[in-house]
């Protein structure tokens, strides 16, 4: 099995993405029409479906971020509005667990962002390989390379880096609130 450059792609004993992606038993010749039109149509349809699935994952990611942002903004607003009066009647053993729960949900949010990053990364690598069977390579060889493959902050700041900062900031705020509540006792 060879990749697109005719070189076998193997990483850590595992065949490369191109070798894993393509069904070697199915070739353009299996689609008996002029210049493999059915084959190209099938690849294009798979490409469209896969791009749509990647978009759906991105939409779920956005919805997840919206949910956690709403929960955390509400918690911070409630802490600001009712914090001092409510916390006066709560023991130290009541404040600390509430703060830990808030920090833990930030950790879950952080891990979900990382998971979505990995899932989207894999999907876009597959999309890039699918593009190798299409006449143009808009994502793999055009857009992504134009953006410097996410390596330079001057050309492109990957959204995940920004997203990961938000739960970290909320977690830090919760820790500050707990420390302030403990000090004020």
Instruction: Parse the chain into domains and list their residue ranges.
Output: 60-183
Kindly give, in sequence order, each residue whose CB lies less than 8 Å from that of residue 131, ignoring residues fewer than 6 positions away: 47, 137, 138, 139, 140, 141
Predicted TM-score (pTM) of this structure: 0.77
- Report pLDDT digits (tens) over 102-155: 999 999 999 999 999 999 999 999 998 898 888 777 887 778 878 888 888 888
Q: Which three-class secondary structure state does DSSP give residue 77? A: helix
Q: Which runs of consecutive H residues, i.e. helices, occur in 88-158? A: 92-131, 144-146
The answer on pLDDT for 163 being more than 50 is yes
């Amino acid at each position: 099995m060879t990749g697109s450059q005719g070189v076998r792609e193997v990483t850590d004993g595992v065949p490369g993405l191109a070798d894993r992606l393509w069904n070697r038993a199915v070739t353009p010749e299996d689609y008996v029409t002029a210049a493999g039109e059915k084959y190209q149509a099938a690849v294009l349809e798979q490409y469209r479906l896969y791009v749509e699935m990647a978009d759906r994952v991105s939409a779920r990611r956005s919805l997840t971020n919206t949910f956690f942002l709403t929960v955390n903004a509400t918690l911070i607003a409630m802490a600001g509005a009712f914090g001092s009066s409510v916390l006066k009647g709560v023991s130290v053993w009541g404040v600390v667990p509430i703060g830990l729960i808030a920090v833990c949900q930030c950790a879950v949010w952080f891990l979900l962002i990382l998971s979505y990053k990995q899932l989207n990364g894999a999907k876009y690598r597959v999309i890039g390989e699918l593009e190798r069977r299409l006449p143009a390579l808009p994502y793999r060889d055009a857009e992504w390379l134009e953006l410097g493959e996410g390596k330079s902050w001057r050309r492109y700041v990957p959204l995940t880096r920004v997203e990961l900062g938000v739960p970290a900031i909320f977690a830090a705020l919760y820790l500050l609130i707990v420390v302030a509540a403990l000090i004020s006792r």
